[in-house]
Amino acid sequence: MTTTFANPLPAPVKNCGPHIAVLDANPAVLDYLRRILSDRCRLSLFTHVPELLVCLGESVPPDLVLLDWHIPWHIASHIPGQTAVPANSHTPDPADAGNSQANALGLLEKIRASRPRLPVVMMACSADLKDMILATRMGATDIVLKPFRKRDIDLIVQPFIDRAASASVQVDEIPLDENTSFVRSSKRMREIESQCCLVSRTGIPVLILGETGTGKEIAAMYIHKMSARSERSFLKVNCAAMPLDLLESELFGYEQGAFTGAVKSKPGKFEICDKGTIFLDEIGEMPTALQAKLLQVLQDGSFSRLGSRNTVKVDVRVIAATNIDIKASIAQKAFREDLYYRLNGFCINMPPLRERRDEIPVFAHYFMRRISEKFGRELLPISPALLRALAAHPWPGNLRELENTIKRYVVLADENAIISDLNPHRALDSSLPVGEESGAGGLKRLVRGLKDDAESTVIAQTLEGTGWNRKAAASELQISYKALLYKIKQYNLRQPNMA
């Protein structure tokens, strides 16, 4: 049977953003959707089922399908499994008019069979709760009621627009190992990249300064990767994590019997790292008694294992880092001045995140992609509201704090909770009791409780104002219908006289 398409629509609008396919027999509805979405989405608009099925059969399917709940009876024959309508029939049969819902659900079932993960939103003129439950059980992602307004459609498509925007952000990164990359986009970080490349060609020691979490270790790894030693070992030692004796044996090794428990000889990091690079993190915390031995290694590459009189000679590139004020530490006699000048063959200052805020979106998308892959989760959208909250936060923990924030977002999948956590100006009523709830943990629980109470109150008032019309309440609250149902269940909200 040859199918002809009545009133063919123009070719899909080519645009950036998500690809949305729409099936509706009413050209006016399609034209309205074209006007409100074509500047943000790539649209494929169809009046007949076969056109949509061809689109869904392509190698790359749409990101979202908007499907008319009330498919006209005369196109039911185009849906596999539906009863064919004679080609010469032009007058609607009242007996078949009520089958439009069955037609739509039949098409929904077919879409679910071929594209089980494709989001499908039903567009209905009216639908009672029983119909909505049926459509949801059959795989409908959401339902939007006609006549709809722009805001109703925006609530549906905005997450897909945000996700497409997240995917389109180009993260300029240089892989360093399986889990780490050197990411840079700002002018200042480009300058640091150039400095790292320049110093990597030499063998002089490098001192990297900067606050905690600014990426000092990443810079050290990048210097090593760009150097002639890149095929050799890169080892990190945290000088603040171990006491004096343990740190000395870790760095320089020991002989059998050098101390209790030394049952056999063991080489230190410097021996293992011969011809490679050693990264001494938190060098400012190294005990002064050990600094003299490190100075000796920097001067001539020689040292002795604990319990040995023999000298070991190595060729190791030393990169050190600290987040303390090193000159103040020298003034307080906590750090050797001669060691500082020996380490400071070349100095790199890593700027804090608050001084390169233009990189926050780049890092947010980078961490989102990396963490989602690690946890096997779907990429979550980073909306403009979340980006504004990220940009306004002071980030005392810098990149490490930003990474942990995105990690919480991936786990919780609750954008509002993350935005609330980032808000540094949360006011508390001075009359609130202080006692068991005092302290950092208690204060956080108290604030969270206040947030939940305020949210449940607003939702309850909105539901009462709309006569418990959940769809209207969701629209007024600017959240999805599903999100509202979740909140109603979360706060155990009940309609009056229905307890």
The C-alpha atoms of residue 164 and residue 415 are separated, in whole angstroms, by 17
Q: Which of 232, 276, 230, 237 is nearest to 253 (CA)?
A: 237
CB distance 105 to 134 below 8 Å:
yes
The C-alpha atoms of residue 169 and residue 167 are separated, in whole angstroms, by 6
CB distance 92 to 74 below 8 Å:
yes
* Residue found under tokens 């709760």: 129
Average of per-residue pLDDT across 140-152: 86
* pLDDT at residue 208 in the model: 97
Q: Give pLDDT tens digits for 421-432.
A: 887 554 333 333
Of 46-55, 136-145, 179-188, 423-432, which one has max mean pLDDT? Answer: 46-55
Q: Give pLDDT tens digits for 27-42.
A: 999 999 999 998 888 8
Choose between 127 and 422: higher pLDDT. 422
The C-alpha atoms of residue 397 and residue 471 are separated, in whole angstroms, by 41
Structure tokens at 353: 């995140």
* pLDDT at residue 319 in the model: 97
Of 68-77, 112-121, 126-135, 298-307, which one has max mean pLDDT? Answer: 298-307
- pLDDT category at 263 given cuts 50, 70, 90 is confident
Q: Which of 334, 337, 296, 336 is nearest to 318 (CA)?
A: 296
The C-alpha atoms of residue 122 and residue 66 are separated, in whole angstroms, by 6
In total, the chain counts a number of residues equal to 499
Task: List 318's β-bridge partners, or say none.
Answer: 278
Output the CA torsion 387→389→395→399 (10° steps).
-20
Task: List 175's β-bridge partners, or say none.
Answer: 181
Instruction: State the chain's mean pLDDT as an integer.
Output: 81
- pLDDT category at 473 given cuts 50, 70, 90 is confident
The C-alpha atoms of residue 369 and residue 380 are separated, in whole angstroms, by 9
Exposure pattern of 111-134 as b/e (b: 16+ CB <10 Å)? beeebeebbbbbbbeebeeebbee
Is 181 in a helix, a strand, or coil?
A: strand
Average of per-residue pLDDT across 177-192: 85
The C-alpha atoms of residue 488 and residue 468 are separated, in whole angstroms, by 11
Domains and CATH numbers, the chain: 19-168 (3.40.50.2300), 173-351 (3.40.50.300), 356-422 (1.10.8.60), 440-490 (1.10.10)
Choose between 1 and 174: higher pLDDT. 174
- In 47-128 the beta strands, taken as DSSP E runs, fall at 64-68, 120-124
Is 65 in a helix, a strand, or coil?
A: strand
For the whole model, what pTM was predicted?
0.57
The torsion angles phi and psi of 336, rounded to 5 degrees, stand at -70, 130
* pLDDT at residue 34 in the model: 92
Choose between 376 and 13: higher pLDDT. 376
Q: Give pLDDT tens digits for 95-113.
A: 443 455 557 788 888 888 8
* pLDDT at residue 102 in the model: 58
Structure tokens at 389: 């909250």
Q: Where are the alpha helices (DSSP H) in 253-359?
A: 269-272, 288-300, 326-331, 337-343
* Residue found under tokens 């001067």: 299
Q: Give pLDDT tens digits for 350-371.
A: 999 999 988 898 899 889 989 9
